[in-house]
Chain A
């Protein structure tokens, strides 16, 4: 079975015919050609696929594309506008929150969701918001600093 899916991805309207069993992560990577979102596990274990659906962080590998009818989907590919890194991207870049960069798209989207609902998060808030995202490179120390950097930038 197939569905005609209408949604916005990174602010652009799209209409696609998608199989009902297609995962959102496959839709984004293969149909929309947005490979910023990563697949790090066999389903719901790592957070690398985190995207925003209507401003909330979601595992794109556990979401069926067809359930995103009329939704606003955002991925790391669409964050920076006019070629400028956003505050959270700058944070991960300048504070070395990204080493290999494979967890980074998921980390950034989960952090983005946090900062949208809580512009001044405590360290505990940051940890809670990123609890479902695994990073194997950084030990998380600089990831926390990256989010704190972004929060400061946004409030300035």
Chain B
């Protein structure tokens, strides 16, 4: 009896609580829902990249037997979007189309063939306008405006100038500047977008299951677009086949499904093809970067001066946030004393970009880590030493007012250096082989929410009834990252009970408390803390009940999870007995937990938009990439990756490893092969063969070192684990190629074509140099 101890759940590798559903085919994704009379929803898309819509005639489509609804812009009550100040997108294009493939009309019909025929019967007449496919074209003098309220086709220009950059550059021993170009990339999550919408015509109520990371935002945008009271909408998140940011905002397909269901007064399923999923996009924008850094002989960075221009696509979306992140998160990882940034987000006639994993930070970090690697070589410094010369000391506030309370980058560096055998192996791998390293970081949720309502950042409900099971109700969207598992772990650990007692119900607006959604790595930190708070509140009730039953003061109750007792000699009460006592005279227990960020973490006021980047805690990562380059084909093989990630306390080490491996691998695709390309606005890559994500054949072993620099405010000390280590792969790869072949790539993806060009140029330069030397001699 005396041996009883609370059951531990934190820090132990735990398979996901919904793993059995996923491995048996029982997990229901949006496209898996079916009822006998469900209609098929299909979308008519613009064939032009930029045009005024002169007229839409849907009469023939409406007359086709088997068609129950046809909708156009006239059926949309309002625009939608992300930021309250920039909602300029419509579920169905309003008066004008701005990219090829933009939805113009949609139909609901009894089957696919009828729906397809109906689309063919819709007549749209367009007046074509000049279209711009690059940021420079769109910014050129006299270019037609995509949106009348965005002069120069500029979504937003941002800048800051902190510290004395000019003095910093003057004080440097080495100043270097490079231009970088990174292609646009797409999330290409495995599940094509889908939504299953049921309309209750008698009550004018909508129930919808959209493939989204943000059920709450979809809920709000449905209400806005459909002019339906928010209380008449129920959003239930089904299983989600990945997101990586493309579902961090409401998508047209979610809204179109709702509109069609209401008009048809029926159930409608909208499932996009892979091509349409690519066109919906919301990926990472093509970016041109200028990066200039001043460095002392010992590697100390004295100043950073940089600019970024992003091709944002046709609508605002997250644009302003993305360009602000590109600047602000130059801070937070190293001790940067002065920095100047100019950023520009441009509107173009391409599908809208969005918030891809590592939102906004990836490409500027790539440029920075790539540039300083070359500078280290020039100064004869080891790349690890350069990073170590610029470490922060936590707790601290950065020059742009970002709170850094915990900092494990130094330990990450130590682990990556040791695990990869850097000291012994660097420079000794033989011809065409190389090692490269780089660091990165990411926020654990934005401290200031986009929609400021005064509510807590996160709310959790726990319900306990006569069967002594604990139901955890959360709005947080489980999208495969394991959020439901982590919440169950937090509650189980706090109560000391077996995780099996806890059933998680996630993201059903009729049942679960509101949550902002799964993005910017906010869930573990914020919802984890709310889960702990809720469990503590429940525990207090249970202790009181046990005290009553045992007839001792609450302070004397020893809570051992499954047993509550008065002392070692006491046989105590089982969890079930305590619950029954707690229900006595009370009925079903329902407790709540919440979490709020602290004002110090909200980011600065030093320049417009400075709050972007403010977070409760940063994760840190350092990685080493080993490559072999085929000198004849310029094909790069990644032999191995060693990555250390500081996620604070690893609540679930198995899930942390999975997230870190997935991040690094996604960085690899972006670094080596992924690239969206357009011909006159027509995507050339809208399938999984032309959009080249790495297959299992070329994917390397990825060894993960978990570093736990616990954060004082994190749940059990935890910080984010799902994004921070993506970024480091990009520069670590180009740095490894530089080590192997002596050429520095500044353009991504580094395909064999691009690398071959660099190798040929180097061969030419080497020959010229040799000839010149020959002449001198």
Contact = CB atoms under 8 A, between A and B. Distances in A.
A joins B in a complex: yes
B24 A98 contact: no
B188 A96 contact: no
A85 B190 contact: no
B23 A98 contact: yes
B19 interface: yes
Given A41-B688, A46-B688, A96-B15, A76 B661 contact: no
B693 A139 contact: no
Interface in A57-113: 75-77, 79-80, 85, 89-90, 92-94, 96, 98-105, 108
Interface in A23-70: 29-30, 33-42, 45-46, 48
A79 B24 contact: yes
B229 interface: no
Contacts of B242: 99-100, 102, 136-137
Contact of B658 (A94, A131, A138, A144): A138
B658 A142 contact: yes
A142 B654 CA distance: 10
Q: For chain A, which range describes its interface: under 10, 10 to 19, 20 to 34, or 35 or more residues?
A: 35 or more
Nearest to A37: B25
Interface in B678-709: 687-689, 693, 695-697, 699, 701-702
B561 to A, nearest CB: 24
Q: How large is the interface on B (under 10, 10 to 19, 20 to 34, 35 or more residues)?
A: 35 or more
A34 B696 contact: no
B16 interface: yes
A127 B25 contact: no
A138 B241 contact: no
Contacts of A99: 16, 242, 480-482, 658, 662
B699 A139 contact: yes
Interface stretch (B27-35, B323-331, B420-428, B576-584): B27-35
Contact of A75 (B25, B29, B271): B25
A35 B190 contact: no
B699 A77 contact: no
Interface centre among A93, A128, A137 (most CB of B within 10 A): A137
A156 interface: no
Contact of A131 (B18, B28, B697): B697
Contact of B191 (A35, A90, A100, A126): A100
Contacts of B15: 93-94, 96
A34 B240 CA distance: 18
Contacts of A46: 190, 274, 688
A101 B696 contact: no
A93 B668 CA distance: 25
Nearest to A34: B25
A142 to B, nearest CB: 6
B22 interface: yes
B479 A100 contact: yes
Contacts of B375: none
B40 to A, nearest CB: 11
B104 to A, nearest CB: 21
A18 interface: no
B244 interface: yes
A91 B25 CA distance: 15
A136 B20 CA distance: 20
Contact of A140 (B187, B244, B689, B699): B699
A29 B22 CA distance: 16
Contact of A127 (B23, B688, B696): B696
Given A33-B34, A100-B190, A141-B701, A42 B687 contact: yes
A143 B696 contact: yes
B34 A85 contact: no
Most chain B beta-carbon contacts within 10 A, residue among A29, A37, A40, A102: A102
B189 A80 contact: no
Contact of B189 (A37, A90, A92, A136): A136
A101 B239 contact: yes
B241 A130 contact: no
A135 interface: yes
Contacts of A48: 190
B20 A85 contact: yes
B664 interface: yes
B655 interface: yes
Contact of B19 (A39, A98, A143): A98
Nearest to B21: A101
Contacts of A85: 20, 23-24
Given A38-B241, A39-B271, A100-B191, 14 more contacts: A40-B241, A42-B275, A75-B25, A76-B24, A85-B23, A94-B19, A98-B22, A100-B242, A101-B21, A136-B190, A138-B662, A139-B662, A139-B666, A141-B699
The 7 A-B pairs of least Cβ separation, nearest first, read A36-B25, A100-B480, A139-B665, A101-B22, A102-B241, A45-B688, A93-B19
Interface of A: 29-30, 33-42, 45-46, 48, 75-77, 79-80, 85, 89-90, 92-94, 96, 98-105, 108, 126-128, 130-131, 133-144
10 contacts: A36-B24, A39-B31, A40-B191, A76-B24, A89-B23, A96-B654, A96-B658, A100-B479, A101-B480, A141-B702
